[in-house]
Amino acid sequence: MQNLLDLDADGLAAWFAGEGEKPFRARQVLRWIHRAGVADFAAMTDIAKSLRDKLKTRAVVYPPPVIADQGSADGTRKFLIDVGNGNAVETVFIPEDDRGTLCVSTQAGCALECAFCATGQQGFNRNLTVAEIIGQLWQANQALGVRHGDERAISNVVLMGMGEPLANFDNVVAALRLMLDDNAYGLSRRRVTVSTSGLVPAIDRLRDECPVALAVSLHAPNDLLRNQLVPINQKYPLSELMAACQRYLDKAPRDFVTFEYVMLAGINDSDAHARELLALVKRVPCKFNLIPFNPFPGSPFRRSSGERLRRFADTLIEAGIVTTTRKTRGGDIDAACGQLAGQVRDRRRRIAGRTILFTEASYG
């Protein structure tokens, strides 16, 4: 049985063609599944009954099940999504006055092992399928409904949950195409963001195949520090990453890259670090999103003080760079940035007792 959630518009058209059906039938079904949120073929009333009966025997619309739905005092909601074999991923909805943002996971766990991230400490099991990625948006739409009239609660999507999106490139791009398709979710490229830790070749592929807004998890102004905080930097150092960001802007829907920067007390938050950042990004049109560190069990890091964060931001702002400080949302349900852990059966052989080499005096 074919799960139709696994197919973008082209894939669905090809599947219908293989079933001897005309292309417009694929568009009809696409609208029913994604725009209307209908999983029951019998309810697709403008489709011939003979085709509906045929679909019941050949296909399903099966989103990954929601096994927990937690609400935060600030309105944030965290969904725990079952992706099978003991694995579950987390999806977070963040409501604001002018938008509703869904943070979507792309892997069960993460193999990149960023030092300050709970997901990275959970290990890695596998990439999510297209159905499991787009199914998070499908399920959240079912749970959240609409704000008023026909407006959906979810206006923005960020692939910034569990996992490295660009390490699951083909499935992520297929899911992105569904998010952007007017017959599916109809989101603007400017309102869909992919966040990456810096997989340079995949950034170039995304630019060519499906350019959406780009966010880069930067977190350090030099290779020495970033090699430890974000280990993928050892393969793709900052000079290569900055060049890839410049290339991406040739086709990006926004004229800047967003750099995400988790503020770690005594590690990456000094005035000297801020000045080093300015030198690093001087050729890349960008904005900075400073993120107060969100603690998780076993973490050796501390959150930068409010005063230190303010001074760091002021240094960037005075140099003319748009800089925001992310408001911590959903911390009471472990839904804040860096806290998503889910349930992951790690299939790798991991090194026990990793030593954290940072000291408060190490990097200025």
Question: How many residues make up the chain in this entry?
Answer: 364
Contact present, 104 and 159 (Cβ < 8 Å): yes
Which pLDDT belongs to residue 113? 84
Cα separation of 208 and 250, whole Å? 10
**Residue in 307, 321, 256, 319 with CA at minimum distance from that of residue 284:** 256
Cβ atoms within 10 Å, residue 353: 4
CA dihedral for 154, 155, 160, 165, sign (positive or negative)? positive
- Which residues lie closer than 8 Å to 108 by C-beta, 6 or more apart? 83, 87, 88, 89, 124, 125, 126, 127, 128, 162, 163, 342, 344
Catalytic entry in 114, 117, 245, 337:
337
- Identify whether 337 is a catalytic site residue: yes
Angle, in degrees to the nearest 10, between helices 169-180 and 9-18: 90
Cα separation of 168 and 318, whole Å? 38
Could you give the residue ranges of the DSSP H alpha helices within the chain? 9-18, 23-30, 49-58, 118-122, 130-144, 169-180, 200-209, 223-229, 238-248, 271-280, 306-318
Alpha-carbon separation of residue 252 from 131, 196, 207, 258, 289 (angstroms): 26, 15, 7, 12, 18
- Which residues lie closer than 8 Å to 292 by C-beta, 6 or more apart? 262, 263, 303, 304, 309, 325, 326, 328
Contact present, 303 and 336 (Cβ < 8 Å): no
Q: In the structure encoding, which two tokens stand for residue 48, read together?
A: 């011939």
**Residue in 230, 79, 78 with CA at minimum distance from that of residue 164:** 230
Cα separation of 337 and 131, whole Å? 24
Which pLDDT belongs to residue 295? 83
The one-letter amino acid code at 108 reads A
pLDDT tens digit at each of 364 positions of the chain: 999 999 999 999 999 999 999 989 999 999 999 999 999 999 999 999 999 999 999 999 999 999 999 888 888 999 999 999 889 999 999 998 889 999 999 999 888 888 888 776 778 889 999 999 999 999 999 999 865 556 779 999 999 988 999 999 999 999 999 999 999 999 999 999 999 999 999 999 999 999 999 999 999 999 999 999 999 999 999 999 999 999 999 999 999 999 999 999 999 999 999 999 999 999 999 999 999 998 888 888 999 999 999 999 999 999 999 999 987 655 554 544 444 455 655 554 443 333 344 433 333 3
Domain 2-60 sits in CATH 1.10.150.530: yes
DSSP symbol at 35? I
Cα separation of 170 and 214, whole Å? 17
Contact present, 205 and 169 (Cβ < 8 Å): yes
Contact present, 187 and 231 (Cβ < 8 Å): no
Which pLDDT belongs to residue 148? 53
Cα separation of 117 and 238, whole Å? 20
Contact present, 58 and 35 (Cβ < 8 Å): no
**Residue in 127, 116, 123, 189 with CA at minimum distance from that of residue 156:** 189
Percentages helix, strand, coil for the chain (3-state, rounded to 5) are 35, 20, 40
The residues of the chain that CATH labels 1.10.150.530 are: 2-60
Catalytic entry in 19, 90, 132, 286:
90
Which pLDDT belongs to residue 189? 97
- Which residues lie closer than 8 Å to 26 by C-beta, 6 or more apart? 9, 12, 13, 15, 16
Which pLDDT belongs to residue 331? 53
Q: What 3-state DSSP class applies to 337? A: coil
Alpha-carbon separation of residue 190 from 124, 194, 215, 252, 253 (angstroms): 30, 11, 12, 9, 6
Which pLDDT belongs to residue 98? 87
CATH of domain 66-333: 3.20.20.70
